[in-house]
Amino acid sequence: MSLLDHGTHAIVIYRSVWEPDTDGNYGWRPGHTPVLVWARVQPVRSTELVVNGQQVATVARVIARHAPAGPWDRIDYDGRTWDVLGEPEQRGDSPATRHTTALMQARGPQRQGGDGDG
């Protein structure tokens, strides 16, 4: 049994679609149909500061047998929304080791604590 076939993290990928925005301009945007993928998610250390002293960019690596992710897709994972960074890589030379590796970055900071009631 391969670790690639039985990931421990559920991620939801919204594949990109070519559609117009509210002004009628066409472009790639996250679609509306979710795809559930079981994967391994590993944190990636980042020293890149979004605003000096404010927030560190949160980046994670997704490793799955097959993750249909692309650069305009949206990923929901761990209660947060993530963007795919660049093109995912297809790795492995044999069917036993073939897998997809992608980097994803959180859109905003992780919410801390309750619902703002203090």
Q: What is the pLDDT of residue 5?
A: 64
75 contacts 102 by C-beta, under 8 angstroms: no
| pLDDT tens series, the chain, 118 aa | 466 666 788 999 999 899 998 999 999 988 889 999 889 898 886 655 555 656 667 889 988 887 888 888 899 998 999 998 888 888 877 877 888 888 898 887 666 655 544 4
Q: Give this prediction's pTM.
A: 0.74
User: Which range marks the domain in which residue 90 is found?
Assistant: 9-106
Domain assignment present for 1: no
Provide the domain count of the chain.
1
**Within-domain flag for 2:** no
Asked if the structure places residue 82 within a domain, the reply is: yes
**What is the domain-level CATH number for residue 50?**
2.40.10.270
CA-based nearest residue to 43, from 22, 57, 25, 27: 57
118 within domain boundaries: no
Report yes or no on 112 lying in a domain. Answer: no
pLDDT of residue 58: 83
